[in-house]
Structure 1
Amino acid sequence: MDKLIIEGGVPLRGRIRVSGSKNAALPILMACLLAETPVRLANVPRLRDIRTTLKLLNILGCESEFEENVVRAQVVLLKPEAPYDLVKTMRASVLCLGPLLALLGEARVALPGGCAIGARPVDLHLKALERMGAAFELTSGYILGHCKKLKGAHITFDFPTVGGTENLLMAASLAEGETVLENAAREPEVADLANFLNACGAKISGQGTSVIHIQGVSSLHGCEYRVMPDRIEAGTFLVAAPITGGELEILDCPFQELDALVYKLREMGVWVQEDGERVIVRRDGELTGVDVTTQPHPGFPTDMQAQIMALMCVAKGAGSIQEKIFENRFMHVLELVRLGANIKLKDRTAVVRGVPKLVGAPVMASDLRASASLVLAGLAAEGTTEVQRIYHLDRGYENIEAKLSAVGARIRRAPE
């Protein structure tokens, strides 16, 4: 198990390129199960979750190659079971449920794992698929699903679930008739999946809005497709410049998908500007605390909550962060306090009062985005910070220490 050792206090300066989106690539990889001919995906990030997904696809009967951020995938002989040994490490594994039901009429999928940031039940997925004609039972830690043929339905989600919307997009693409999804997730990664499916011959419209229409087709074919850039990695770099007092040029930044974050950064006193194919970001004077509430897209993303909290730790005055998506997503608070932060937590609200400086200390990551916040705080802190259990970080950030080193960070990986 590795850790990151950071000598903080160095302003970051230079160019940094955003990798492909993990949260877009994972459902798109699952959707490769639906294609009858080969798929070629570009801009796929080299991450642990991606490799786990490729192992799962291989078990399900889809052979793949992964080289230089390009995945080539081809279904050979589809099988209905996603075993616990793989699914337990990664939440997105449940996304094979829709494709398996659509193609085979049966699925045996282990209940998923992933970061321990709160309950993320799959009941919304199952209730929606039941409307399309599937039946389920839960036994021995597995979801057992079966159907004769999925049929289009009018489905209104109780909550705009990202995974549920993605599962239904895949299942409905090969269902009989039209499916309408209301209160659908509007995240850019959902739209990227829909765009990929359309490139494979699906008939989907309305992606990026709360109402999506899917007209089922008899089959899908392979295609060449480029995965969108990772907006959360881009957002993390947008925080890295002002928290260190530096200036970064961010390439391949999905700027239009970051409106809520950029609005709050500017409110804090950060200068952010899109300039052609790059985004320039720097601290513009003194930082001030703001109030943030996480919401489904296009609101402030829960995946950026921990990172903006790190920035507020070194801002003037106080601000509050209200977490409305995941109930356990404040586990990084105590670790930031170890670095000298002043944060008071009550229920699902954190009140952050800025301090003159953070001071390096050993800290432990509890989940993916918590890891990023601790790295950011370590870059700003005086002295040495050791971030332990960075296997969480490796699930979502491609070569982050190399990217940060290239813009001046004193950061290195070492065995714990």
Structure 2
Amino acid sequence: MVVIGVLVALVGGVLPAGAERGWVAGWAASPVVGSEIPWSSCPAGGGLRDATVRNVVFVSTGGRAVRVRLTNAFGTRPLRVGGASVAVRGSGATAEEGTVRVLTFRGSRSVTVPPGRELFSDPVALGVRSLSTLLVSVHVPGPTGPITNHPFTAQGNYLADGDLSGAVSGDFRDTPCWMFVSGVDVVPSRRVAGAVVAFGDSITDTANTTGDANRRWPDFLARRLDAVRGRTLSVVNAGLGGNRLLADREGEPYYGVAALKRVERDVLAQSGVAAVITLLGVNDIGYGATAAELVAGHRELIAAARAAGVAVHGGTILPFRGSVAWTAEREAVRREFNDWVRTSGEFDGVVDFAAATAAPGDPAALDPAYDSGDHLHPNDAGTAAMAQAVDLGALLARGSVAAG
């Protein structure tokens, strides 16, 4: 990821001491190329003209200052941004009074993001509570062409005509996707030693959880880590619905490029990243991947993370018997791969998601209490169980981070 140099802006007040250092990712969304999505009203395929997107984002950790990462990662033309802001959410598309902070980019309220690039705003002083919700607004004069976006969010977002980027409220309508924004960093308290990235597919991205409720498994993990006494970590969700580890899904760009292609941008480039939890492979199994191929792909991920000094915790693939994707042959691949995750010793830690969500007496199927109904994606109770399966002691043991 290329980051344009960051300057300190005084919009919204004087920045606290240390705001020029110590950034940690508090929220992120893995971007995909703009395209038409057959069952979605997201306008990322056709693009926008003279419109404001108001993204609703749940931050895992709080802080005294924030900066926002704009994305044109998959754009084929320069992205002109006329104005942008960040605010604490009041309700709906309305900001909490007194919290709107106009963003600048090298001191300017407008900026052009080159094709294939991402860039951070200048920092702004804003008190943000952990496990709270922000509104990140971006006005584009347009026409934008296809928009780099995150299509599946389990979160309602907003869209308005004209420039409402700095407004407390306005005439916003619903839109399902996150657009133009791929991250929010904070300057956290000293107890937050870095970030853990949840790297996966739809089961990490949204599963079949309740919308607008922040019940993805990384959200439940964020709540657990926020409750830790002493040193802890923020949580970043780098899940992508439909994503595969080994290959792109031809003709379906909204599922993103293969995880092996996006690991540098979506995991290793996150501010303050200390660890990653992987949960990938079920979609590859559906496309005929072997256990040996999944092992080889995960070894690539492990090598890339280790080279960057990032700890890797391997997740076992959840059971999915009864789903449209299940066959006895695919079940054998899942079990062989999961055995390798559990016993190989190649990870810094193991998260046994499969054991945590399996039906009593039937390790090939989801527990009915955790099954959203498709026998593949867990419900709210299932994602809570997944987060509970993470050994916080093992996760926090690396380096200077210690469970309190």
What's the TM-score, normalizing by structure 1? 0.30
Higher relative contact order (CA 8 A, sep 6+): 1
What's the TM-score, normalizing by structure 2? 0.31
Quick check: which has more Rg, 1 or 2? 1
- Give the structure with the higher percent helix: 1
